[in-house]
Amino acid sequence: MYPDYLHGPPAALHTIKLLLIMMLFIQSANAGWLNEDADIMGTRISVELYHANPDLARRGIATVFREMRRIDASMSPYIKSSELARLNAFAQQQPFATSKELFSLIRRSLDFSELTDGAFDITFASVGFLYDYRNRTRPDKTQREKAAALINYRELMLNHHSTTIAFSKPGMRIDLGGIAKGYAVDRCISLLQELGIKQALVTAGGDSRMIGDRWGRPWSIGIRDPRNEDKLAAVIPLLGVAVSTSGDYQRYFEENGVRYHHIIDPGSGDSARELQSVTIIGPDATTTDALSTSVFVLGLESGLELINRMSDIDAILVDQTGQLHYSDNLQSVKKKDDDVKSSAARRTP
């Protein structure tokens, strides 16, 4: 018989053994989860994924970064040799032969222009190139209006047989900044699926897409407070979707209290100023990316109206007062949010 106080050591030993077994188990379950970041496409790319085979998991990460670099090299307007830069340089004089990939992303962009009544328009770049947010440069009113007259997606001449594109007006330019990151995320998710990876989250700046779950739970996606980078305006648990946020805080400068930022209203050539941020949830990241930019331009009423017409798309908008607005399908999330807020208010004296 052990005295009472000696019951301790055997129990402690047992606990230590159990802990060791648990640690080994957690380590082996952990082995296939990887999480890595890189700066590509002028933004932060992050990948979190699982595969039981750690070599395959590592291959998944490398595949994502390689694909992001490949798309950047062909679609960046800043890389002189990119296909997009060459298209901008030559399509004003004669039809420019594009790759099938670039051609079909431009075609998809035009579908979003039709859907949004021109709020999404890749020819915004005809004026967009006159802004330099880092150096606080912008066109004056005359320059802006002159260049804005060149914004019109209908002036892009696409030949579907030869995959050539021509600009019908000299001075026109295009930029895929409102859709290319989402497209890149979709490409990466397909490549991961081809590798047999079933649980992953790929993010490029404000555009993410996830497959499978995260440790048996949904992924948590945070929507940041547009006026405080350390605070979240909302956190949403999600599975099997894409989510994109467009905000007026990503690239901007202020002058005399006016915020000049990177989302341009094609009608005026000036920054769109009705909202602070737009988050779109949908089936793929190309769609959510294009729609987050579009709804930002459309503003509160027309933006929500468009999203409520689309059965598989949801949205959370933050207006200029910081108030959140939800699309119809998300009213239950809003209700939970309100309940949490009102019970917190009740607790506060």
Give the footprint of ligand AMP on this chain (CB under 6 A).
120-122, 124, 175, 177-178, 206, 246, 250, 262-264, 266, 289, 292-293, 297
Which residue minimizes CB distance to ligand AMP?
A: 177
Residue 286 interacts with Mg ion (CB under 5 A): yes or no: no
Window of 3-11, 66-74, 148-156, 177-185 that interacts with Mg ion by CB under 5 A:
177-185
Residue 178 interacts with Mg ion (CB under 5 A): yes or no: yes
Residue 245 interacts with Mg ion (CB under 5 A): yes or no: no
Which residue minimizes CB distance to Mg ion?
A: 293
- 177 backbone φψ class: left, alpha, beta (φ>0; ψ -120 to 50): alpha
Shortest distance (Å) from residue 180 CB to ligand AMP? 9
Residue 126 interacts with Mg ion (CB under 5 A): yes or no: no
Q: Where are the alpha helices (DSSP H) in 129-214?
A: 141-148, 180-194
Report the residue from 199, 293, 316, 318 that binds Mg ion according to the rule CB under 5 A: 293
Cα of first residue to Cα of last residue in the chain, in angstroms, is 57
Q: Which of 196, 221, 198, 164 is nearest to 46 (CA)?
A: 221
Q: Which of 264, 275, 263 is nearest to 227 (CA)?
A: 275
Contacts by 306-309 with C-beta closer than 8 Å and gap 24+? 306/115, 306/116, 307/280
Do 182 and 207 form a contact (C-beta atoms < 8 A)? yes
Do 144 and 269 form a contact (C-beta atoms < 8 A)? yes
Residue 292 interacts with Mg ion (CB under 5 A): yes or no: yes
Q: Identify what 120 binds: Mg ion, ligand AMP, none; CB under 5 to 8 Å per kind.
A: ligand AMP
Q: Identify what 203 binds: Mg ion, ligand AMP, none; CB under 5 to 8 Å per kind.
A: none
Neighbours of 143 (CB within 10 A): 13
Report the residue from 289, 306, 317, 327 that binds Mg ion according to the rule CB under 5 A: 289
Shortest distance (Å) from residue 172 CB to Mg ion? 21
Shortest distance (Å) from residue 289 CB to Mg ion? 4
Q: For residues 252 and 262, give the distance between their C-alpha atoms in angstroms, rounded to a whole number.
A: 6
Binding site for Mg ion (CB under 5 A): 178, 289, 292-293
